[in-house]
């Protein structure tokens, strides 16, 4: 019999408010076939983790209790299961893990080997956990849904957040003219990410600031009402695209405008491309705050209250 030392993990015993997040000893995971065990250097908070903990997504993402949350991981492989090729103990990796499996709010996590990408070499390993889910969301929204091209105009609504930070950088690098909305705490960061024009949404409502203007693409990253969302679709030029990670646009927007909703998925090959950009210095991982994993419940509360800006990395 092989026995493993136990390892600390944040676990959720039921869906509810953040108090259900309990920091406790858990069995150290073992790599099954096609899996590796990763010693977690860092994980990052995504609103998906908060929504799963709260039970908002219980039908889409059913989890077994006690559940260890967190989809983003950066760490070092400590064990390789059967039928895993190309990865060895000691490799530094990042991944967007399946949301319903035991997650990375722990010292150790199992990861499907086919979801792994080598971690960037040019940033702290823990900070690399800020890349997978938010970076893939931005990529898939811009290039798989909106099909953004050089020379196009794009409005990124909610550019101050984690996904928005990557979206502004990737769209600007692709040669699009980026207009962004951001609050005062994020203005400088959004500007340095490559937005040519920024509207402070706390000073002027976006619809008022953009009155009479149209964009080839509107990327919508803010949760609001269907009515407000429909008015944002009016900012899309004829034949353009409205892509949302939150409230969907109307199915038939007219004027040849496509409305699409993003459901981010793990994609190891694309994640490796994003990592290559980080190492080439063309994509920045911006970590707003580093916190102890023991603070996870407080971080959830801050996220719900809208007090987090950008990416928060949690370190076990
Ligand atoms: N469907 C999917 O697959 C998918 C994937 C990833 C994310 N999402 C969703 O997409 C949204 C963005 O994700 P995220 O990770 O970027 O979230 P996040 O990091 O929590 O970003 C939230 C940001 O939104 C900005 N904001 C809030 N109210 C705003 C308003 N009225 N106008 C403009 N900006 C506003 C704030 O920026 P300031 O700092 O500038 O105030 C805040 O930092 C979330 O709702 C998330 O749940 C969906």
Asked whether the predicted pLDDT for residue 3 surpasses 70, the reply is: no
Residue with CA at minimum distance from ligand 1 atom 23: 161
Residue with CA at minimum distance from ligand 1 atom 33: 158
Asked whether the predicted pLDDT for residue 5 surpasses 90, the reply is: no
Pairing of strands 153-157, 177-182: parallel
pLDDT of the residue at 219: 98
Ligand 1 pocket, 243 CB below 6 A? no
Q: Which CATH class is domain 134-261?
A: alpha beta
Where exactly are the structural domains of the chain?
Answer: 7-131+285-315, 134-261
Tell me the pTM: 0.96
Asked whether the predicted pLDDT for residue 4 surpasses 50, the reply is: no
Ligand 1 pocket, 205 CB below 6 A? no
pLDDT of the residue at 179: 98
Averaged pLDDT, 168-193: 98
The number of the ligand 1 atom at minimal distance from the alpha carbon of 185 is 39
Ligand 1 pocket, 10 CB below 6 A? no
Q: pLDDT by residue (tens digit) across 239-296?
A: 999 999 999 999 999 999 999 999 999 999 999 999 999 999 999 999 999 999 999 9
Averaged pLDDT, 134-144: 98
pLDDT of the residue at 9: 79
Domain 7-131+285-315 has CATH 3.40.50.1010: no
Asked whether the predicted pLDDT for residue 1 surpasses 90, the reply is: no
pLDDT of the residue at 57: 87
Asked whether the predicted pLDDT for residue 2 surpasses 90, the reply is: no
pLDDT of the residue at 227: 94
- Between the CA of 221 and the centroid of ligand 1 the distance, in Å, is 5
Residue with CA at minimum distance from ligand 1 atom 46: 47
Asked whether the predicted pLDDT for residue 155 surpasses 70, the reply is: yes
Ligand 1 pocket, 245 CB below 6 A? yes
User: In the predicted model, what is the mean pLDDT of the chain?
Assistant: 94
Ligand 1 pocket, 274 CB below 6 A? no
Give the whole-number percent of the chain exceeding pLDDT 70.
Answer: 97
Ligand 1 pocket, 161 CB below 6 A? yes
Residue with CA at minimum distance from ligand 1 atom 7: 245
- Between the CA of 163 and the centroid of ligand 1 the distance, in Å, is 7
Q: pLDDT by residue (tens digit) across 76-105?
A: 999 999 999 999 999 999 999 999 999 999
């Amino acid at each position: 019999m092989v026995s493993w030392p136990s390892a600390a993990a944040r676990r959720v015993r039921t869906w509810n408010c953040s108090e259900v997040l309990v920091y406790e000893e858990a069995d150290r995971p073992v790599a099954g076939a096609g899996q590796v065990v990763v010693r977690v250097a860092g994980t990052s908070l995504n609103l998906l983790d908060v929504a799963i903990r709260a039970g908002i997504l219980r039908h889409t993402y059913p989890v077994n209790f006690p559940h260890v949350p967190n989809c983003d991981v950066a760490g070092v492989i400590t064990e390789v299961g059967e039928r895993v090729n190309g990865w060895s103990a000691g490799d530094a990796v990042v991944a967007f893990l399946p949301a319903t499996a035991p997650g990375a709010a722990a010292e150790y996590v199992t990861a499907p080997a086919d979801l792994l990408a080598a971690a960037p070499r040019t940033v702290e390993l823990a900070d690399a956990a800020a890349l997978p889910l938010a970076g893939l969301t931005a990529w898939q929204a811009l290039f798989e849904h909106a099909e953004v091209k050089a020379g196009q105009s794009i409005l990124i609504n909610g550019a101050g957040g984690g996904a928005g930070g990557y979206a502004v950088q990737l769209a600007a690098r692709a040669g699009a003219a980026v207009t962004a909305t951001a609050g005062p705490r994020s203005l400088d960061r959004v500007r340095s990410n490559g937005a040519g024009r920024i509207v402070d949404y706390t000073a002027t409502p976006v619809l008022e600031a953009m009155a009479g203007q149209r964009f080839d693409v509107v990327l919508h990253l803010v949760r609001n009402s269907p009515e407000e969302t429909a008015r944002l679709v009016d900012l899309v030029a004829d034949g353009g695209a409205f892509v949302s990670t939150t409230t969907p646009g109307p199915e038939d927007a007219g004027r040849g405008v496509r409305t699409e909703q993003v459901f981010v998925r793990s994609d190891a090959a694309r994640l490796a491309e994003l990592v290559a950009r980080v190492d080439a210095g063309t994509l920045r991982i911006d970590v707003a705050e580093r916190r102890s994993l023991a603070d996870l419940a407080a971080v959830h509360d801050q996220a719900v209250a809208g007090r987090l800006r950008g990416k928060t990395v949690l370190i076990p």
